[in-house]
């Protein structure tokens, strides 16, 4: 029998070495391939650099068109989305220097309302091009200037009549006739009324950055200054006759006047406090101050007190010009109160629905 020949030790060693080397090489190759695969998979999608991500910014073009002629005035380009109507007005002013921002009125539609300065451009955009209609509002003045001018005139005009200038009254007649105490009291009350208005304009009321046409200030000054001249001329005239019921009529009317002035002031302070604190989500509520309890009955108690002041002044002086002025003021303030009451009904319906606008039951 033939025996199977076993390879010699050196030959077997060579074979094992050759076989082991082949296994080692294939194991290293597979391990390298596996590591490379894991590296590629762990890398994932290549992220763009931040510079490329934010490189595209959308700008708007605002076309300014005349509301009457429908002709294009200019195009304000490269308007960022965060810009407001006020920013557009400033850019428009640079292109057309004759129209400063407060004089520019912009509308989204020809018959639509004027856009507020705080409105953002992005909220108006239906595309990258926005068309706005331009209206020249005329020369404008600030609200503080408006009220200071309107109230300073009556204060000074009344004092000119009170000292009885020789160009207004006859000096001989002025020296002969004795001044009734109600003349001095009327001057005090009239000056107190307008001094309160001036101080509240400076320190209580907070006006927005809005403006009003100069013609409105001229009309307001003509009304107040003209009536003040008429009122002061009659009350300070040397032949002025005191009220029919004498001291009692004057005293009670003066007391009512002072109470209405105090009430008007405290109401204005309460409204200003609500505006400054930012609490506009609820209707102003009465406080411990009794003058603010009128909020329980009417939505515009400041107009109620203002009307009461002029009615009291009419009873105290008993003159026709004051009566006519008080009558016109009551009508005007009732219209303002109705307008505000409608706004309050939209914003604070549950709290205001049972209140009157200015005078309980009547208005």
Band (163; pLDDT cuts 50, 70, 90)? very high
DSSP secondary structure string for all residues of 198-209: HHHHHHT----S
Band (270; pLDDT cuts 50, 70, 90)? very high
| Helix (H), strand (E), coil (C) string for 75-105 | EEEEECCCCEHHHHHHHHHHHCCCCCHHHEE
Which of these ranges, 77-86, 241-250, 275-284, has the smallest mean pLDDT?
Answer: 275-284
Tell me the CA distances in angstroms from 172 to 62, 92, 213, 229, one per residue in order.
70, 63, 45, 22
pLDDT of residue 154: 98
| Residue 314, token pair as written in the block | 């009419």
Secondary structure (3-state) at 5:
coil
| Residue 134, token pair as written in the block | 């331009």
* Cβ neighbour number for residue 9 with a 10 Å cutoff: 8
Contact 307, 362 (CB under 8 A): no
Give me the mean pLDDT over the 273-281 stretch: 69
Band (344; pLDDT cuts 50, 70, 90)? confident
> What is the distance between the alpha carbons of residues 267 and 273, in angstroms, rounded to a whole number?
10
Structural domains in the chain?
60-138 (3.10.20.90), 140-241 (no CATH), 243-362 (no CATH)
Q: Is 100 exposed, middle or buried (0-12, 13-18, 19+ CB in 10 A)?
A: middle
Close Cβ partners of 33 (under 8 Å, ≥ 6 residues apart): none
pLDDT of residue 348: 80
Residue 324: pLDDT over 80:
yes
DSSP secondary structure string for all residues of 307-341: HHHHHHHHHHH--HHHHHHHHHHHHHHHHHHHHHH
> What is the distance between the alpha carbons of residues 261 and 303, in angstroms, rounded to a whole number?
11
- The phi and psi torsions of 249 (rounded to 5 degrees) equal -60, -45
Beta bridge partners of 66: 134
Model pTM score: 0.77
More confidently predicted of 223 and 41 = 223
Residue 45: pLDDT over 70:
no
Band (186; pLDDT cuts 50, 70, 90)? very high
pLDDT of residue 279: 61
């Amino acid at each position: 029998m033939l025996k199977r020949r076993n390879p010699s030790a050196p030959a077997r060693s060579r074979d094992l070495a050759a076989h082991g080397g082949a296994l080692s090489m294939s194991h290293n190759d597979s391990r390298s391939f596996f590591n490379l695969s894991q590296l590629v998979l762990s890398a994932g999608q290549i992220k763009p650099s931040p510079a490329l991500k934010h490189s595209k910014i959308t700008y708007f073009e605002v076309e300014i068109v005349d509301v009457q002629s429908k002709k294009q005035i200019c195009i304000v380009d490269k308007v960022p989305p965060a810009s407001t109507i006020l920013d557009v007005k400033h850019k428009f002013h640079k292109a057309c220097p004759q129209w400063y921002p407060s004089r520019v009125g912009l509308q989204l539609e020809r018959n639509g309302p004027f856009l507020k300065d705080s409105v953002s451009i992005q909220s108006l955009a239906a595309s990258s091009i926005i068309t706005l209609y331009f209206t020249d509002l005329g020369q404008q003045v600030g609200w503080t200037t408006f009220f200071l001018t309107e109230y300073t005139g009556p204060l000074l005009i009344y004092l000119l009549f009170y000292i009885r200038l020789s160009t207004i009254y006859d000096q001989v007649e002025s020296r002969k006739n004795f001044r009734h105490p109600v003349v001095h009291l009327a001057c005090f009350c009239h000056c107190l009324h307008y001094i309160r208005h001036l101080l509240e304009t400076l320190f209580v009321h907070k006006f927005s950055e809005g403006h009003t046409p100069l013609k409105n200030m001229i009309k307001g000054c003509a009304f107040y200054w003209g009536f003040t001249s008429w009122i002061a001329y009659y009350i300070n005239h040397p032949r002025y006759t005191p009220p029919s019921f004498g001291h009692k009529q004057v005293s009670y009317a003066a007391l009512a006047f002072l109470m209405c002035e105090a009430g008007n002031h405290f109401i204005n302070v309460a409204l200003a406090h609500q505006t400054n604190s930012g609490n506009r989500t609820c209707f102003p509520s009465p406080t411990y101050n009794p003058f603010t309890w009128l909020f329980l009955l009417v939505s515009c108690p400041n107009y109620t007190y203002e009307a009461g002041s002029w009615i009291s002044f009419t009873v105290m002086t008993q003159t026709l010009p004051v009566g006519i002025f008080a009558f016109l003021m009551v009508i005007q303030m009732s219209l303002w109160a109705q307008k505000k009451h409608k706004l309050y009904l939209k914003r604070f319906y549950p709290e205001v629905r049972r209140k009157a606008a200015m005078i309980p039951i009547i208005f």
